[in-house]
Structure 1
Amino acid sequence: MNITKKDIDKLNAVVTVEISKDDYADKVSKILNDYRKTANIPGFRKGHVPMGMVKKQYGKAVLVEEVNKLIQEALQKFLTEEKLDVLGNPLPNNEAEIDWNSDDFTFSFDLGLAPEFDVDVKKKAVTNYKIVADKEMLDNQVKTIRKQYGKLIAKKEVSKGDEITGTFTSEEKGIDKSTTFTTETIKGKKQLSALVGAKVGDTVVLKTKGMFADDHDNQKYFDVSHDDAHGLDVEVSLKIEEVNEREMAELNQELFDKLFGEGVVSSEKELKEKIKEDAEKQFEQQSDQKLLNDVVESLIDNTKFDLPDAFLQRWIAVSGEKPMTEEEAKAEYERSEKGLRYQLIEGKLRAEHNLQVTFDELKDYSKTMIKGQMAQFGQTDPSEEELDTIAARILSNQEEVKRLSEQLNTNKLLDFFKENAKLKTKEITYDKFVKEAYA
């Protein structure tokens, strides 16, 4: 057997595999002899079928199978030994020319080669948002807490700020939804005016258009689909079943202890500081995800290299469950090209900066997550033996291993970007972050 490679250009090559009869003859002969021993052919005793008949019936199929095995083994070994970084899989280019009646065969395969390029994470600055909880947010959160832990006082008539429990109905949209809401959620002036002064037992007819500030609230309160929620413009009837005024809880030590444990918080100032600390920890997750997305986009846009486009389109056309037409494969390639580019960029970063996840790191990461989950249920000091036992059970599940590996991979990449990428920090409130980052 002989294998050679010819470079077409920097991104394309052809590998030629030459196979002679000596490479496969013994294997084919052995298999045919085994067939002869077990073949059931009418008119012949088992094990006494003439070899000529066995060859006629099975010879070519066995030959093709064994030669293909040789090719796959040889190609894999060649690519490994030559350290060729290929994209997709080798594609045969002379299948139609093979004469299976010959003794010797020559097979040619097209290769798509990964491009050589450099990745500069400092090439262009990316905004790193630091989301802060401002005074308005903290005041609103304190108000929400006081309402949540306050007392309900039953009323007979609706006033501004009250909670209303009732059932919305509409034959036109098939609405029949029991719900509770506060008048503060109502943004439409006409709808609010119709509700204020209504009594328990009354039925109030309301227009849904402009009733809430966000059309997504139509899903919550009317139980309509996402598509129907947008621009919903029908009349609904509200049968008022309860009206309650919520008397806000006092900001005292009893409430503070109920919220955070005894003695952790002892004043409104400390309460706001704790709320701010907890909120900004949660905001950090959103900021990190935004940073990761933006750095990835920046790297794709600013890391220039060519790809073996024609080869990859051919590979896409034949590698799926169903073959694609040339047009379908081209469209699929255009959709996936960006992702492929980032796979190459990420792979290079991981290789050059040792960002691969080891099993020990995965085990430690799983134990950290286990400790966090146990702490939520009051188990704050589990033993190492207990953690090891639970971790071993989790890591025996391949789906869990995959999920945790993806999380840890993402965390390592994010930490690398925070330490090495060119970042410009921008302090911003949550509302402004949502508008600016996801506009």
Structure 2
Amino acid sequence: MKITRENIDALNAVVKVDIAKEDYSAKVEKILTDYRKTANIPGFRKGHVPMGMVKKQYGKAVLAEEVNKLLQENLNKYLSEEKLDILGNPLPKVKDIEWEDDDYSFEFELGLSPEFDVDLNAKKAITRYNIVADDKMIDEQVERIQKQYGKLISQNEVEKDSEITGTFTNEAEGIENKFTFTLEQIKGKTNEKKFIGAIAGDQLNLKTKGLFNDEHELQNALKVEHDKVHGLDIEVNFEINEINKREAAELDQELFDKLFGKDVVKSVTELKSKIKEDAEKQFVQQADQKFLNDVTEHLVENTKFDLPSEFLTKWMQTAGEKQLTLEEAKEEYEKSEKSLRYQLIEGKLMKDNDLKVDFEDVKASAKDMIRMQMAQFGQMNPSDKELDDIAARVLSNQDEVRKISEQVVSKKLLDLYKEKANTKTKELSYEDFVTEVYGKQK
């Protein structure tokens, strides 16, 4: 067997595999001999069928199967030994084979991975946000806690500070749902006026469009599907069941213990400090994700290299479950090119900086995730055995292993970017962060 490669250019090559009769003949003869021993052909006793008849009936199929096995095994071995970094899979140059000859030649197109360098130390610094919980946010959180743990006081009629419980119905749409909300959640003074002064038992006809400040609140109020709620414009009946005012809870030791455990917090000052600490832990995750996204975008935009686009487009025609037309494949390539570029950049960074993800990394990450989930349900100190047992079950699922592995890679790259990228730090409140990153919130 002979394998040769012709490099068309830096990104494309053709591999030719020549298979001679001596490469496959002994194997084919053995298989046909075994067939002859077991062949059940009318007119002949088992084991006494003439070899010529066996070859006529099975010869081409056996030859084709064995040649294709040899082809795949040796092509894969060649690619591995030559350390060729290819994109996609080799594409065979299609030709009709009659399987009448002794020697066969096959050609495969290869798309080669480009060579490039990644510069993390960009001229323009990338912003790393330090999000702080300001006094306004902390005070609002204290108010929310006081309301949440406060006492309900019944009211005769709806006032601006009322908490209203009632049932939304629309028979035609199959809507019937009991929901509790405050007038702060209702959008606009026109809607608000419909509630002010109403009493228990009153029925209000309401338009769903523009009823709540947040459409997701409307989804909760009506218990409809997420896709249906956006732009929903129907009338609903709302029957008021209860009207209450929530008296704020006292900021005392009983409340502190209920929130954080006995004597963890002992004053309003400590309460605010704890709220600030917990909030800023959450903000770190959001700031890190924003930084990771920004570095990713920067690297894709500023790391220049060519791709074997024509080859990849052809490969995409046959790579999926469904055969694509050339136009469909071009469209698919355009959609996935950015992702492919980042995958190559990511691989280059991992290799150049000797970053590896092994099973112990994945297992440790799984245990951290399990530990946090258990803490949410009040299990603060699980044993190592508990964590190992649960992690073993999680990691028996290959989809979970893949997902956690990707998270570990992201964490390693994030640490690398923090260490080596050209960054500047910007400190701002969460509200200002949301405005700067996502635009003015309505």
Specify the TM-score bucket, using the shorter chain as the normaliser: over 0.9
Q: Which moved more, 1:202-211 or 1:271-280?
A: 202-211
- Tell me: CA distance 1:423–1:177, structure 2 relative to 1, closer, same or farther (3 Å): same
After superposition, where does 1:271-286 map in structure 2 within 5 Å? 271-286=271-286
- Tell me: CA distance 1:26–1:207, structure 2 relative to 1, closer, same or farther (3 Å): closer
What is the aligned partner in structure 1 of residue 101 from structure 2? 102
Structure 1 residue 35, shift from structure 2 partner: 0.8
After superposition, where does 1:175-214 map in structure 2 within 5 Å? 175-214=175-214
Structure 1 residue 404, shift from structure 2 partner: 2.5
- Tell me: CA distance 1:173–1:303, structure 2 relative to 1, closer, same or farther (3 Å): same
**Partners of 1:79 and 1:146 in 2: CA distance:** 67
**Partners of 1:235 and 1:394 in 2: CA distance:** 46
Aligned AA for 2:143? K
Q: Which moved more, 1:321-330 or 1:146-155?
A: 321-330
Encode CA deviations 1:224-249: one digit per residue, 9 max, x unaligned: 44455344444433211111111111
Structure 1 residue 380, shift from structure 2 partner: 4.5
After superposition, where does 1:313-392 map in structure 2 within 5 Å? 313-376=313-376, 379-392=379-392
Aligned AA for 1:115? P
- The answer to whether residue 401 in structure 2 is matched with residue 401 in structure 1 is yes
Alpha carbons 1:203, 1:240 under 8 Å: kept: yes
Structure 1 residue 32, shift from structure 2 partner: 0.6
1:312 aligned counterpart, secondary structure: helix
After superposition, where does 1:117-128 map in structure 2 within 5 Å? 117-123=116-122, 124-128=124-128
After superposition, where does 1:5-404 map in structure 2 within 5 Å? 5-96=5-96, 98-123=97-122, 124-170=124-170, 174-376=174-376, 379-404=379-404
Structure 1 residue 134, shift from structure 2 partner: 2.1
**Partners of 2:231 and 2:402 in 1: CA distance:** 41
- Tell me: CA distance 1:375–1:176, structure 2 relative to 1, closer, same or farther (3 Å): closer
**Partners of 1:190 and 1:396 in 2: CA distance:** 56
Q: TM-score, normalised by structure 1?
A: 0.93
Alpha carbons 1:3, 1:15 under 8 Å: kept: yes
Aligned AA for 2:321? E
Structure 1 residue 341, shift from structure 2 partner: 0.9
Aligned AA for 1:361? D
Aligned AA for 2:257? D
List gaps (5 residues or longer) in structure 1: none
Alpha carbons 1:394, 1:400 under 8 Å: kept: yes
- Tell me: CA distance 1:235–1:389, structure 2 relative to 1, closer, same or farther (3 Å): closer
List gaps (5 residues or longer) in structure 2: none
**Partners of 2:401 and 2:234 in 1: CA distance:** 50
Encode CA deviations 1:317-371: one digit per residue, 9 max, x unaligned: 1222222211111111111111111111111111111222112222333333444
Q: Which moved more, 1:101-110 or 1:365-374?
A: 365-374
**Partners of 2:80 and 2:9 in 1: CA distance:** 20
**Partners of 2:212 and 2:188 in 1: CA distance:** 7
- Tell me: CA distance 1:368–1:171, structure 2 relative to 1, closer, same or farther (3 Å): closer
Alpha carbons 1:179, 1:221 under 8 Å: kept: yes
**Partners of 1:232 and 1:399 in 2: CA distance:** 36
Structure 1 residue 253, shift from structure 2 partner: 1.4
- RMSD between aligned alpha carbons? 2.1
What is the aligned partner in structure 1 of residue 419 from structure 2? 419
Structure 1 residue 117, shift from structure 2 partner: 0.4
2:109 aligned counterpart, secondary structure: strand
Encode CA deviations 1:105-133: one digit per residue, 9 max, x unaligned: 12111111100000112224322222222
May I ask how many residue pairs the two structures share in their alignment?
Answer: 438
Q: Which moved more, 1:389-398 or 1:26-35?
A: 389-398
Aligned AA for 1:18? D
Structure 1 residue 415, shift from structure 2 partner: 1.6
Q: Which moved more, 1:15-24 or 1:384-393?
A: 384-393
**Partners of 1:340 and 1:400 in 2: CA distance:** 22
- Tell me: CA distance 1:225–1:397, structure 2 relative to 1, closer, same or farther (3 Å): closer
2:218 aligned counterpart, secondary structure: helix
Aligned AA for 1:432? D
Alpha carbons 1:18, 1:107 under 8 Å: kept: yes
1:262 aligned counterpart, secondary structure: coil
Alpha carbons 1:218, 1:232 under 8 Å: kept: no
Q: Which moved more, 1:53-62 or 1:86-95?
A: 86-95
Structure 1 residue 297, shift from structure 2 partner: 1.3
**Partners of 1:388 and 1:206 in 2: CA distance:** 54
- Tell me: CA distance 1:204–1:321, structure 2 relative to 1, closer, same or farther (3 Å): closer
1:95 aligned counterpart, secondary structure: coil
Encode CA deviations 1:4-46: one digit per residue, 9 max, x unaligned: 1111110111111111111111011001111111111111111
**Partners of 1:395 and 1:211 in 2: CA distance:** 46
Q: TM-score, normalised by structure 2?
A: 0.92
